[in-house]
Amino acid sequence: MWPNQSSVTWNFKADVGKINSGNGPSPTLACYVPIIDFTVQCDGTAFDLRATVPRLSWRILVQQDDKLAEFSSDSISVYLNDLAGSDYPLLECTFGSTLLEPRVSLLGRDSSLVIEAKQKRSAYQDSWYFDLRAVRDVLEASGKSEDFDLLIESRTGYKHYRGKALSVRPRWDLRNPDAYWKKEGDQHVIHVSWNESGKPIMGRCLVVIPLWRPWAGAVLQHQFSDRERIGHKWQLPLSDLLPGRYIVKAVHAP
C-alpha cells in the first residue's frame, strides 16, 4: 500500500467452504484500510482470519540510544547537525515482500546525489537501509538544503513508487531578530537585524505575510546573500503592499 493510496482491492478465493466477513455477508472487495478481518467456514468449523497489505513506510535512525523512531509514510524533516551527530545515520524503509528483487534508491531533487539501498532481513522481513553519511558530507560542504525522493522500481525499470521521503537542512543559528518599518517618500522601508554565527548557509529568507490571510503565505520574499549576516534594509514601492497589517518573518528554505 503506497503513501497517498486511498483504497485497497482484495480478492478472496476458497476451494472449499465459504468466506464471510464479520457481519455475515461476503467481505468487501475494496476498503480504505490495509487490514480486513474475515471468517472461513468449512465443514461446520469457522476460522477467524486477518489479512494485511504491507504498507510502504520509513523512519530515520540517528539516535545513539536504544529508542527507535516510529515508521511513517509522511516526509521526514531532519537538521543536518542531527546527521552530523551520528556516526552512522540511516534511513530505513519497509514495504513487505510483494515485489520481486526491486531496486530501491534515494534521489536528491536538486543535486545529482543518488544513494542505493541495501536490504537487510531482521525483525522486519524486508527492510531497506540508506547510508546517509554521503548526504551529510555533501550538504555540509555546500551549505544547502535538499529534498530526497524514495524510488522503488523493478529490475526492468518499471516504476512502482516515487515520492518525497526526506528533507535535510542546515540549522540556521538565528538569534535576537528585530525588524521595524517606516515610510520614506514613495517607498516602504523595512530594517531587519539579527545575530548568527557559523558557516553561512543557503536559503535564508525574509518574507512578508498579511495578517488578514496568513494561510495564503508570503506576498513578498527576499533571499539573503552570504554577506548578509547581521542585517538588511528592504526597500519596496508603496504599490507592492496593500493597506493592512503584516508580519515580517526570517525563514530558512521556505
Distance from the first to the final alpha carbon of the chain: 30
pLDDT for the residue numbered 121: 62
pLDDT for the residue numbered 20: 87
- Is it the case that residue 96 has pLDDT exceeding 70? yes
Q: How far apart are CA 176 and CA 194, in angstroms?
A: 5
State the fold for domain 174-252: Immunoglobulin-like (2.60.40)
* Closest to 115 in 3D by CA, of 168, 156, 73, 68: 168
DSSP string, 43-95: TTEEEEEEEE----EEEEE--SSSPPPPPBSSPEEEEHHHHHT-SS-EEEEE-
The whole model's pTM is what? 0.73
Dihedral angle of Cα 87, 91, 92, 94, to the nearest 10 degrees: -170
Domain ranges of the chain: 8-52, 57-169, 174-252
Give me the mean pLDDT over the 23-38 stretch: 84
Q: How far apart are CA 162 and CA 165, in angstroms?
A: 9
Domains 57-169 and 174-252 share a fold: yes
Cβ(148)–Cβ(107) below 8 Å? yes
pLDDT for the residue numbered 149: 96
Give me the mean pLDDT over the 111-122 stretch: 82
What tens digit of pLDDT does each residue of 168-180 get? 988 888 899 899 9
| CATH of range 57-169; options 2.60.40, 3.40.1350, 1.25.40, 1.10.150 | 2.60.40
